[in-house]
Structure 1
Amino acid sequence: MQSEQYKGYMLWGHAILQQKEILHSERYAASGTITKVNRVIEASGVLGEFDTGEEAERAGIQWARAWVDSSD
Structure 2
Amino acid sequence: MQSQSYHGYQVWGHSIVELEGEFQRERHAASGTITLRGKLVHASGVLGHYESEEDAELAGPDWARAWVDAHS
TM-score category of the 2 structures, normalised to the smaller one: over 0.9
Identity, % of aligned positions: 51
Compute the RMSD of aligned alpha carbons: 1.0
TM-score (norm 1): 0.94
Structure 1 unpaired stretches of 5+ = none
Partner of 1:62: 62
More displaced 10-residue stretch of structure 1: 31-40 or 21-30: 21-30
TM-score (norm 2): 0.94
- For 1:22 and 1:68, how far apart are their aligned partners in 2? 39
Structure 2 unpaired stretches of 5+ = none
* Segments of 4+ moved more than 3 angstroms: none
Q: Which has the higher strand share?
A: 2
Q: CA deviation at 1:25?
A: 2.3
State how many pairs are aligned.
72
